[in-house]
A and B are shown apart, each in its own frame.
Chain A
Amino acid sequence: DAGVTQSPTHLIKTRGQHVTLRCSPISGHKSVSWYQQVLGQGPQFIFQYYEKEERGRGNFPDRFSARQFPNYSSELNVNALLLGDSALYLCASSTRLAVHNEQFFGPGTRLTVL
């Protein structure tokens, strides 16, 4: 069975640009969450979506947005990129609300902002 997949694996952007990251959850999972992990730190919670609705949001600026599609895949969008947005972006899926259940993580997208 396929695990959580994310695309692209690596991405290089310049300051001010926009980026879209994609995530496909495990089949049957209805919840997708996004995390940002800066090198040497623990992941920071960005968003949680369940049944296509936002069900939780971390302390990130409005430049960060996301959505979940009818097939439960998800996109994370970041506008007006800053150097500090360089990080590993992780997507995780779970059967129900992520914060109360085991989450399955994808390999991540490494974003570098120059």
Chain B
Amino acid sequence: SQQGEEDPQALSIQEGENATMNCSYKTSINNLQWYRQNSGRGLVHLILIRSNEREKHSGRLRVTLDTSKKSSSLLITASRAADTASYFCATTPDTGNQFYFGTGTSLTVIP
């Protein structure tokens, strides 16, 4: 079973707009990561945020983590057509060496 769930399942926006996707998870975590996947290919790591961090930035990406609500959000600013992909959150529970991906958000950026 998967630990996380992304919301929304699908998102369609115009180029230049911001895209926000959310991730909820079930158990206490050590860290949370976001990955991007283009058309069923290998995943690309975007950002890692540890459980003692609340916000992290990388280029046009901003990730927040609220451990009290067991949720995270990924914001992509000034979106581009090349950002079209599926986005997954992935969590590491604070007990055990497993890794759980969420269900994913499919983002379409319209030129």
Most A CB contacts (10 A, CB to CB) among B35, B97, B101, B104 go to B97
Assuming the contacts A42-B102, A44-B2, A44-B101, asked whether A100 and B31 have C-beta atoms less than 8 A apart, the reply is: yes
Chain B residue nearest to A55 in the complex (CB): B97
Closest to A103 in B: B45
Contact B98 A108 (CB under 8 A): no
B99 and A102: CB pair below 8 A?
no
Main secondary structure of the interface of A (DSSP, over half): mixed
B33 touches A102 (CB 8 A): yes
Is A105 an interface residue, CB under 8 A from the partner?
A: yes
Separation in Å of the A108 CB from the closest CB of chain B? 6
Report which of A35, A99, A103 forms a contact with B97, defined as CB distance below 8 A.
A99
Q: Are B99 and A104 neighbours in the complex by a CB distance under 8 Å?
A: no
Is the Cβ of A107 less than 8 Å from the Cβ of B41?
A: yes
What chain B residues lie within 8 Å of A33 (beta carbons)?
99
Q: Judge whether A98 is part of the interface by a CB distance below 8 angstroms.
A: yes
Interface residues of B (CB under 8 A from A): 1-2, 4, 30-31, 33, 35, 40-45, 48, 88, 92, 96-104
